[in-house]
Amino acid sequence: MKVLILKTKEEACEWVANHLILAIKEFKPTPEKKFLVLGLPTGSTPVPVYEKLVKAYQNNEISFKNVVTFNMDEYLGLAPTHNQSYHYFMDENLFNHIDLPKSQIHILDGLASNPQQECVDYEEKIASFGGIDIQLGGIGENGHLAFNEPGTSFDSLTHVQQLTDNTIEVNSRFFEKKSDVPQKALTIGLQTIFNAKEVIVLALGEKKAEAVYKSVRGEVSYLCPASMIQNHSNGIFVVDEAAALKLS
Ligand code: GLP
C-alpha cells in the first residue's frame, strides 16, 4: 500500500482524476476484455473528481464508451429518483454529463423486492465483467468503506448493512432531519472492494485524519474496515495535508 500526501484538496482530487483519465485513455478493448471496469463512490469527497472527469469528456479528451461502472452502495428503501439516493447523486454529478451508456451503469437497487437476491446478482454481474479494475472509495469518519461499518468481516461480499448511529448522524447533514436517514443500506463487501486490481481511497480534510491514521498506521483490524488496504498489493491512500495531520 502506498500513501500519497498532497498539499490541498484540489491537488488530491486532481491526482485521482488524472489517474482515472489516463486509465480510460490507455484502455484498449480486446475480444476478451471489452470494458474497463470502475468501482465508484458517492459522498462529498469524489465530487471534484467527477467534475474533472466531466471536463475531460467535454474537452474530447476521453470517452466512456468502453467503461463499465459499479457503484459501491445505495440506501435501502430510497427510490432512484429520491434526491438523497446514490442513483440520483451519480446522475447529477457524473452520468448525466458523459457518454457512458445506461446499460453500462450498475447501481444497487434500494427498492429491490428481495434485497438479498439483489446483492447476489450484483456480485455475479461484477464477476461477469472479470471483476473491478480500479475501485475508488471515500472513507467514513469511523473508517468505513462504502457502507462496510466497523465489525464487517474482511471476506464480506455485497450485503445488506445496518448503519451505525455515527454514520446516520454524519450523513444526516444531507437530509432534512436525522430520522429521514435510512437505517440500512446495500453495499458491496470488503472482499468485493479488495478483489479489485487497484484500490484508491481518497480522504480529505481534518475530519478524516483519525480514520486515515488508523487505516494506515493502526493494525489491520475489522474495527477499521479501511485498514484492510494495508494488505492490498496495489492499494493507494490519497490524502490532503489536513487528512494526513496525524501521520507526521
Ligand atoms: C457515505 C458513503 C461512503 C463515503 C462516506 C464519506 O457513508 N457510503 O462511501 O465514503 O459517506 O462521505 P464524504 O465523502 O461525504 O465524507
144 is catalytic: yes
Ligand 1 atom 1 nearest Cα: 43
Residue 159: per-residue pLDDT:
98
C-alpha cell at 228: 484492510
Among 107, 111, 69, CA closest to 87: 107
142 is catalytic: yes
**Spans of all domains in the chain:** 2-25+34-246
Out of 71, 74, 93, 142, pick the active-site residue. Answer: 142
* DSSP-derived secondary structure for 172-190: GGGSSSGGGS-SEEEE--H
Residue 178: per-residue pLDDT:
96
**Chain centroid to CA 163: how far?**
17
Out of 106, 144, 159, 232, pick the active-site residue. Answer: 144
| Alpha carbon distances (Å) from 28 to 25, 65, 98 | 8, 11, 19
Q: Which CATH architecture has domain 2-25+34-246?
A: 3-Layer(aba) Sandwich (3.40)
97 is catalytic: no
C-alpha cell at 8: 490541498
Residues 141-187 pLDDT 10s: 999 999 999 999 999 999 999 999 999 999 999 999 999 999 999 99
**What distance in Å separates the CA atoms of residue 127 and residue 145, rounded to the nearest whole number?**
20
Closest-lying ligand 1 atom to the alpha carbon of residue 208:
16
Residues 186-245 pLDDT 10s: 999 999 999 999 999 999 999 999 999 999 999 999 999 999 999 999 999 999 999 999
Ligand 1 atom 13 nearest Cα: 43
73 is catalytic: yes
Output the furthest CA–CA distance in the chain (Å, rounded).
50
The residues facing 199 across adjacent strands are: 135, 235
Query: 147 and 73 in contact (C-beta within 8 Å)?
Result: yes
Q: At residue 125, does pLDDT exceed 90?
A: yes
Strand pairing report for 184-187 and 73-75 = antiparallel
Task: Give 170 Cα–ligand 1 centroid separation in angstroms.
Answer: 9
Residue 248: per-residue pLDDT:
82
pTM for this model (two decimals) = 0.97
Closest-lying ligand 1 atom to the alpha carbon of residue 205:
16
The residues facing 237 across adjacent strands are: 3, 201
Query: 21 and 55 in contact (C-beta within 8 Å)?
Result: no
Residue 241: per-residue pLDDT:
98
Q: Which residues of 18-27 are buried (b: 16+ CB within 10 A; e: fewer)?
A: ebbbebbeeb
The residue behind cell 484502455 is: 27
**What distance in Å separates the CA atoms of residue 201 and residue 195, rounded to the nearest whole number?**
14
Ligand 1 pocket test target in 40, 171, 192, 204 with most atoms within 8 Å of CB: 171
Mean per-residue pLDDT for 61-85? 98
Mean pLDDT, the chain, whole residue set: 97
Residues with CB under 6 A from ligand 1: 41-45, 72-73, 138-140, 146-147, 167, 171
Among 13, 53, 4, CA closest to 244: 4
Mean per-residue pLDDT for 128-146? 97
